Amino acid sequence: MINFSKFENFKTIKTIRDFDVSQKKVLVRCDFNADLDEKGGILDGYKIERTLPTINYLIERKAKIILMSHLGRPNGEPREKTGLKPIAKRLEEYLKKPVKLIPDCIGPSVEKAVKAMKPGEVILLENLRFHKEEEKNDLNFAKKLSGYGEIYICDAFAVSHRAHASLVGIPKFLPSGMGLLVESELNTLSQALGKKLPPLVTIIGGVKIETKIKLIEKLLKESDHLILGGRIAYDILAGKGLCPSGALPEEKIQKLIEKINITNPGIHLPVDGAIILKNDGGGYFRHASLGQLRKEEAILDVGPETIKIFSEIIKLARTVIWNGPLGKFEDERFAKGSLAVADAIIRSKAFSIVGGGDTSTFLRKYNLLKEFDFVSTGGGAMLAFLEGEKLPGIEALKINE
């Protein structure tokens, strides 16, 4: 079991309130990595909304606010689909004031814009990941970014488990602290952990197996029950040779899958699914057990038998941690698994912590956000924190003693 009483004290980290920000250029690392629709519109602005208290705090105190973020995975190259134009537009709507998007995050255009800033103004630098140096944690890149500010504030909890230049490099050059979102996440998660009681049921879904596979083995040891759904579950089953519809994982992921003992009574995987044809226009749909799957079919949600099994397990819980939907919830045909899990958690009266961008998008879509005790902006970061791992983006803010 997780020892809920032994979590790190963050008193050696300054908060935004510890700085005199008036007239100062304040660099704020945000996480505006919102899901976009096919036309580039924002599907869910939850992460943006959670950062508003920090931005408004700075506006009210007449700081010069320079926002930084990433969006998607452009792999170190400028890509129109991952540009921050829709983010700037949504920020303007929320803040009810102009937010100027700068066409790069370093260089002459940034220098000119920062130099012209007046107190209370807000600018947004273009996607940090348009430069490969960001994810490589290049110190020179971090130094260039730091040159535009006088104070650095981290308000990007959702990526604080990443050792990227804008998160761990900039604090080497500027007085640094955490924003109101990060402070809220750390305080709430720390306090919540002290209240939790077993049995602990952890639910992991979503599609990004590469970001969660390393934690699954550890979660299996420390949870009373570990429920796996979404693309992740079927990829694991494919790796075990039990699901012809799943994608065959790359070699390094396959090696990690091999370590997972799926016969452990504490792990629970789907036994059936909601099925479509991979190349069908959308008319074909059925439920089937895993043994009935054909290679030309794809699984987009857990099936009715799996829902029954998962719901019965959740009934036992006094604490639930949930990260990642169980199906392609954007299509209502494939939202039943996630809705059933949400309903089971709510009915269980267990203390519930939910995290991850897709999960919060799902909960908002079905007006369920307020039904849970805490909805974190982080997915991987939340899980890492709950497992007691050190988060590089938070560690970088600590005052040297």
Q: Where are the domains of the chain?
A: 16-181, 196-386
Structure token digits, residue 50: 């959670």
pLDDT at position 387: 77
199: preceding bond cis by omega (within 30 degrees): yes
How far CA 366 is from CA of 233, 293, 329, 338, 360, in Å, comes to: 23, 30, 10, 10, 10
- Quote the CA–CA distance of 348 and 359 in Å, as a whole number: 19
The residue with tokens 């090696």 is 255
One-letter amino acid for residue 161 of the chain: H
pLDDT at position 1: 36
- Quote the CA–CA distance of 70 and 126 in Å, as a whole number: 8
DSSP 90-129: HHHHHHTS-EEEES-SSSHHHHHHHHT--TT-EEEE--GG
Residue 239 · residue 259 · CB < 8 Å: no
pLDDT at position 249: 64
Looking at the structure, give the CATH architecture of the domain made up of residues 16-181. 3-Layer(aba) Sandwich (3.40)
DSSP 127-191: -GGGSHHHHTT-HHHHHHHHTT-SEEEE--GGGTTS--IIIIIGGGTS-EEE-HHHHHHHHHHHH
pLDDT at position 147: 97
- Of 6, 4, 26, 5, nearest to 14 by C-alpha is 26
User: Taking the model in full, what pTM does it have?
Assistant: 0.85
Pairing of strands 272-277, 297-302: antiparallel
SS3 assignment, position 281? coil
How far CA 64 is from CA of 89, 113, 117, in Å, comes to: 19, 11, 7
pLDDT at position 293: 79
One-letter amino acid for residue 113 of the chain: A
**What are the pLDDT tens digits along the chain (401 aa)?**
343 443 456 668 999 999 999 999 999 999 999 888 878 888 888 999 999 999 999 999 999 999 999 999 999 999 989 999 999 999 999 999 999 999 999 999 999 999 999 999 999 999 999 999 999 999 999 999 999 999 999 999 999 999 999 999 999 999 999 999 999 999 888 876 676 678 999 999 987 777 777 778 788 888 899 999 988 888 888 888 887 655 566 777 788 788 888 888 999 999 998 888 877 666 677 888 887 778 788 889 999 999 999 999 999 999 999 999 999 998 888 999 999 999 999 999 899 999 988 898 899 999 998 999 989 999 889 988 887 788 999 999 997 54
pLDDT at position 304: 94
pLDDT at position 150: 98
Structure token digits, residue 199: 């049995």
- Quote the CA–CA distance of 73 and 79 in Å, as a whole number: 9
Identify the CATH homologous superfamily for domain 196-386.
Answer: Phosphoglycerate kinase, N-terminal domain (3.40.50.1260)
First to last CA, the chain: 33
